[in-house]
Amino acid sequence: AQSVTQPDIHITVSEGASLELRCNYSYGATPYLFWYVQSPGQGLQLLLKYFSGDTLVQGIKGFEAEFKRSQSSFNLRKPSVHWSDAAEYFCAARVTGFQKLVFGTGTRLLVSP
Amino acid sequence: SQTIHQWPATLVQPVGSPLSLECTVEGTSNPNLYWYRQAAGRGLQLLFYSVGIGQISSEVPQNLSASRPQDRQFILSSKKLLLSDSGFYLCAWAPGGGNNEQFFGPGTRLTVL
């Protein structure tokens, strides 16, 4: 079955440290891939997306993600985390021809001083 | 530019009462529309999606229904709420015809007592 897995439920990172959030997908073909961020009580905001081409994708707020076909992964990274990055992050995937996104269960990022 | 609205922002309803949540999109035409539920500490569950007026696809059997009376209006309803219907309800839209990102509204927090 098609699925998106975010293995880390919570991650705590010190402010200024680097961040990597993991995402793995299980699809027969390469899906379109997305990362969203959700602040408490808010809707989801699109950080970045991968459709094809360059496997390193730049997004908003200094985030980037790298698509690795061999590992079926699309990990989100940021070189230096700010306290305002504390939020929940969702990875999502969609296969061509389907109208739906499949979301991972999310990773809650905590930023310590 | 496109905007998506949801109301009400918060709602407290007794068990057995009816429900109507509204979502409207501005600045686009013929969007795909989606309803998600996010229970506390859990990921997003797709409830319904619609690719056109009067066209509703249900993802999970449940106590809820959806309708799309106009191109940019999507309504989530229930005749009798259950305690388990409590959660954060998110509406989203995506360009119809093949583009892939979904854009989310601010959400409605529903508490059923």
Q: What digits encode the pLDDT tens for the residues A50-94?
A: 988 889 999 999 999 999 999 999 999 999 999 999 999 999 998
Q: How much is the pLDDT for A81? A: 97
- Count Cβ atoms within 10 A of the Cβ of residue B71 and give its class: 0-12 exposed, 13-18 middle, 19 or more buried: middle
Confidence check: pLDDT of A39 > 60: yes
CA distances from A18 to A7, B34, B35 (A): 18, 34, 34
Confidence check: pLDDT of B101 > 90: no
CB–CB of A15/A103 below 8 Å? Answer: no
Residue B4 Cα, gap to closest chain A Cα (Å): 11
Confidence check: pLDDT of A42 > 70: yes
Domain ranges of chain B: 3-112
Q: How much is the pLDDT for A48? A: 96
Q: Among A32, A100, A106, whose Cβ lies nearest the Cβ of B46? A: A100
Q: How much is the pLDDT for A96? A: 67
Q: How much is the pLDDT for A86? A: 97
Q: How much is the pLDDT for B32? A: 92
Chain B residues whose beta carbon lies within 8 Å of the beta carbon of residue A49:
100-101
Q: Among B43, B46, B92, whose Cβ lies nearest the Cβ of A104? A: B43
Domain ranges of chain A: 3-112
Query: What is the C-alpha to C-alpha distance for residues A29 and A94, in angstroms, rounded to an integer?
Result: 10
A23-27, B37-41, B60-64, B96-100: range with lowest mean pLDDT? B96-100
Confidence check: pLDDT of B99 > 60: no
B46-93 pLDDT tens trace: 999 999 999 999 887 778 999 999 999 999 999 999 999 999 999 999
CATH topology of domain A3-112: Immunoglobulin-like (2.60.40)
DSSP single-letter state for residue B97: T
Determine whether the interchain pair A99/B101 forms a contact, defined as Cβ–Cβ distance below 8 Å.
no
Name the most confidently modeled range: A23-37, B7-21, B83-97, B99-113. B7-21
Pick B3-112's CATH classification: 3.40.630.30, 2.70.98.20, 2.40.50.140, 2.60.40.10: 2.60.40.10
Chain A interface disruption, residue of B44, B47, B58, most A CBs within 10 A: B44
User: How many residue contacts between A and B have a Cβ separation below 8 Å?
Assistant: 44
Q: How much is the pLDDT for B113? A: 96
Determine whether the interchain pair A103/B49 forms a contact, defined as Cβ–Cβ distance below 8 Å.
no
Mean pLDDT confidence for B7-35: 96
